[in-house]
Amino acid sequence: MNRLSNNQGTGAASVNLLELLTQQDDRIAALSAQVPGVPDPAKFVPVSVLTTVQQQLAALSEKVTGGEVNGLIQAALSDGRLLPDMQEQAKSLGNNDIASLKSYLDKAPKVAALRALQTGGKPPANAQDKTGLDADALAVCSLFGHDPKDVATLSQEI
């Protein structure tokens, strides 16, 4: 009752019902005028367009991030900061948080033994092959066209 009479009393005579209904109609008309009848296309886009753009953005972001992650991993594998067994873990970390992967790789030590062979791919200077012959004996075999296995067998018999 207080709401109807604007806190002026509880008697029915203190409320002008016609005036109250007119005020309510005026409020409804004012609020209805504030709502635009036709949405402005410059302010709104269809949900399907928004979804398509979001999917394209996600695909491009993944492509850029994936390329950068693969580059970081390949560089780390080549200079010994990352073991081949750790490649999948690093890829997962990079796809989730590339900053964490960069931080890890910046702090990882470069292990020289993982980058190259100690001998540079060449056999040691005093190495013998599977036949037990040294480099000089192999050169003689090559020069005369003998099989190193036959020469090794004959040298063991002597």
pLDDT tens-digit map of 22-80: 999 999 888 887 776 676 777 788 889 889 999 999 888 888 888 889 899 999 988 88
Contacts of 32 (CB under 8 A, 6+ apart): none
H helices of the chain, in order, are: 17-34, 47-79, 87-96, 98-107, 112-115, 135-144, 148-157
Distance CA(23)–CA(17), nearest Å, equals 10
**Three-state SS at 116:** coil
- Of residues 156 and 70, more confidence is placed in 70
Task: Check pLDDT > 60 for residue 10.
Answer: no
pLDDT at 53: 93
Q: How confident is the model at residue 12 (pLDDT cuts 50, 70, 90)?
A: low
What gap in Å lies between CA 85 and CA 71, rounded to an integer? 17
pTM score > 0.75 for this model?
A: no
Judge whether 137 and 151 are in contact, CB under 8 Å.
Answer: yes
Residues in the chain: 158
Cβ atoms of 146 and 139 within 8 Å: the answer is no
Can you give the pLDDT at residue 26? 92
Q: Report the pLDDT value the prediction gives residue 1, as an integer from 0 to 100.
A: 53
Residue 98 contacts residue 65 (beta carbons within 8 Å): yes
- List CB contacts of 131: < 8 A, sequence separation 6 or more: 148, 149, 151, 152
Mean pLDDT of 113-135: 68
